[in-house]
Amino acid sequence: MSLALEIVDLPPATAAAKEFLQRRDHRMFIGGEWVEAQSGARLETHNPASGALLGTIPAGAAADVDRAVSAARAAFESPAWRDMTGAKRARLLWKIADLIEANLDELCELETLDQGKPLWVGKYAEVPGAIEQFRYFAGAATKIEGTTIPSSIDYQPPGKKIFAYTVKEPLGVVGAIVPWNSPLVLTAMKIAPALAAGCTMVLKPAEDTSLTALRLAELIAEAGVPPGVFNVVTGLGETAGAALAAHPGVDKVTFTGSTEVGKLMLDAAKGNLKRLTLELGGKSPAIVMPDADLELAIPGVANAIFFNAGQVCVAGSRLYVHDSIFERVVEGVANYARGIRLGHGLDPQTQMGPVVNVKQAERIAGYVESGRAAGAEIRVGGGRGGPRGTFIEPTVLTRVRPDMKVVREEIFGPVVVATPFDDVEEIVTLANDTHYGLAASVWTESLSAAHRLAAQIRAGTVWINCHSMFDATLPIGGMKQSGWGRESGQQAVENYLETKTICAVI
């Protein structure tokens, strides 16, 4: 269904964003220098709302990854970084946070133009979220501690004692690969704990949304992080990403992206048995119980899927509503969807922007069509439009069956499938009937129902009477095929540390 939508291209308001975009042909950041890809090849980056060309980025490949990994290895071994105290690393991280804050408006505008999201998403959620990652892990840098261990070994020489302890050491060179849906904050979730731990890093941003990663590299350099500690190689996943994932000089890969590409990381890691953290896809259930406060639940579950045009790993893309209130909730969500204003992300009236590119828009439209063809009802939405066809109407599908593709697969767009249920045992089975396990939300006024369901749902995060609540303090990550490991929260710094045991006879 074609959607009539006029999009007027809007320029950024800040002089800094204008100045950044005027550079047009950006370079990538290796060993403290701004460099071209060795091949000289470039990729274009466009505004997904209008299709306007924003600039070009180097199409990095294996040779560039080699160079960046060497720079990161040299920095890892250099006294300037290796011997830096935790307190000094903490100050650097805090400085990065201050610089992001000082340049918040510019970063939000660049993210909106490159990714399509409304400006307010960056301003009130994602960029403050990135800042908090740096501040939270600044605190962690001075709290990396081992333990002394009273061992049970009893065969030491007479008169001697055993003294055993552990120390935590940085893992080494980290390769970070991130997706395009929330570029800055997802990148910060990796850089901040890795630098707090004393690692060095090569970042491969998503090819569609590399601009804020390049601007962030400038701020990281301005903060005083030594050359080579943080490097950015731009380029395609199949070339730059694959080379980084397989590189024998990389000790660990931290990947956020689709489950499909996440599985490729396993093969790529085999050569040198790299450590892996995988933050992958989801098909998260939002469950509305019969006693839910619907004033809260209806906008809550609508926002769970429509925020950021559904391009959220934890999006509440499967809506389960008790039979007794199914019509009321589904109609409420459909009404919410009808009221969402689509537009250019820099227009202050815009509530939902385009999806990131034409390919993703076609993919989402293909899912909606497959649902319709399989017998689902399009309660609202289903349209696609804009100058490049990148705008997708917020869509609610009903009359779906558990075996339909739209129920089983991650759509990663503003499309929710709604299913009624009639008893609590059934809802646990339905919620867990997925190979994903990233997140879920439960909407109920019953304390015991909420916590019983939270215990029974196989997901890394369960929200009660809310959805998509993120914070640097709260671990996030998946069970089942939604990933390995957790980011954010105290344990995230462990992703970048090795434990060494030292055992002495004294």
- Give the pair of three-digit tokens for residue 222: 């301005």
CB of 485 to ligand NAD, least distance (A): 10
- Give the pair of three-digit tokens for residue 170: 């940085």
Q: Tell me which amino acid residue 345 is.
A: G
- Give the pair of three-digit tokens for residue 120: 């307010």
Separation between Cα atoms, residue 33 and residue 40, nearest integer Å: 16
CB of 452 to ligand NAD, least distance (A): 26
Q: Which of 176, 483, 493, 495 binds ligand NAD (CB under 6 A)?
A: 483
Cβ 341 vs Cβ 349: under 8 Å: yes
Beta carbon nearer to ligand NAD, 14 or 490: 490
Separation between Cα atoms, residue 315 and residue 5, nearest integer Å: 25
Cβ 426 vs Cβ 437: under 8 Å: no
Which CA distances in Å does 451 have to 317, 429, 444, 456? 21, 16, 10, 9
177 binds ligand NAD (CB under 6 A): yes
Beta carbon nearer to ligand NAD, 452 or 458: 458
Beta carbon nearer to ligand NAD, 7 or 121: 121
Binding mask 124-163 for ligand NAD (x = CB under 6 A): ----------------------------------------
Contacts of 125 (CB under 8 A, 6+ apart): none
CB of 56 to ligand NAD, least distance (A): 16
Separation between Cα atoms, residue 387 and residue 2, nearest integer Å: 11
178 binds ligand NAD (CB under 6 A): yes
Three-state secondary structure readout of 300-323: HHHHHHHHHHHCCCCCCCEEEEEH
Angular region, 172: left φ>0, alpha ψ -120 to 50, beta rest: left
Angular region, 180: left φ>0, alpha ψ -120 to 50, beta rest: alpha
Q: Which of 76, 81, 134, 180 binds ligand NAD (CB under 6 A)?
A: 180
- Applying the rule CB under 6 A, the residues between 300 and 329 that interact with ligand NAD are 313
Q: What is the β-pairing status of strands 42-46 and 53-58?
A: antiparallel
- The H-assigned helical ranges of 278-385 are 294-306, 326-338, 358-373
* CA angle centred on 260, ends 62 and 279, rounded to 5°: 85
Binding mask 187-216 for ligand NAD (x = CB under 6 A): -----------------x-xx---------
Stretch that binds ligand NAD, among 15-23, 221-229, 278-286, 446-454 (CB under 6 A): 278-286
Of residues 108, 109, 199, 313, which has the active-site annotation? 313
Q: Which of 192, 287, 438, 442 binds ligand NAD (CB under 6 A)?
A: 438
Beta carbon nearer to ligand NAD, 382 or 483: 483
Q: What is the β-pairing status of strands 173-177 and 252-256?
A: parallel
Q: Which of 179, 183, 332, 383 binds ligand NAD (CB under 6 A)?
A: 179
279 assigned to active site: yes
Tell me the three state secondary structure of residue 448: helix
Stretch that binds ligand NAD, among 117-125, 144-152, 238-246, 446-454 (CB under 6 A): 238-246
* CA angle centred on 322, ends 318 and 326, rounded to 5°: 80
Cβ 84 vs Cβ 324: under 8 Å: no
CB of 206 to ligand NAD, least distance (A): 4
Q: Which of 7, 71, 191, 261 binds ligand NAD (CB under 6 A)?
A: 261
- Phi, psi (deg, nearest 5) at residue 148: -95, 140
445 assigned to active site: no
CB of 269 to ligand NAD, least distance (A): 11
Of residues 132, 279, 393, 487, which has the active-site annotation? 279
CB of 506 to ligand NAD, least distance (A): 46
- Could you give the count of Cα atoms lying within 13 Å of 147 in the half-sphere of its Cβ? 4
Q: Which of 410, 457, 467, 470 binds ligand NAD (CB under 6 A)?
A: 410
CB of 131 to ligand NAD, least distance (A): 18
Stretch that binds ligand NAD, among 3-11, 96-104, 235-243, 334-342 (CB under 6 A): 235-243
Cα four-point dihedral sign 422, 428, 429, 435 = positive
232 binds ligand NAD (CB under 6 A): no
Q: Which of 245, 286, 289, 392 binds ligand NAD (CB under 6 A)?
A: 245
Beta carbon nearer to ligand NAD, 113 or 233: 233
Q: Which residues are catalytic?
A: 279, 313
Binding site for ligand NAD (CB under 6 A): 177-181, 186, 204, 206-207, 237-238, 241-242, 245, 256-258, 261, 264, 279-282, 313, 410, 412, 438, 478, 483
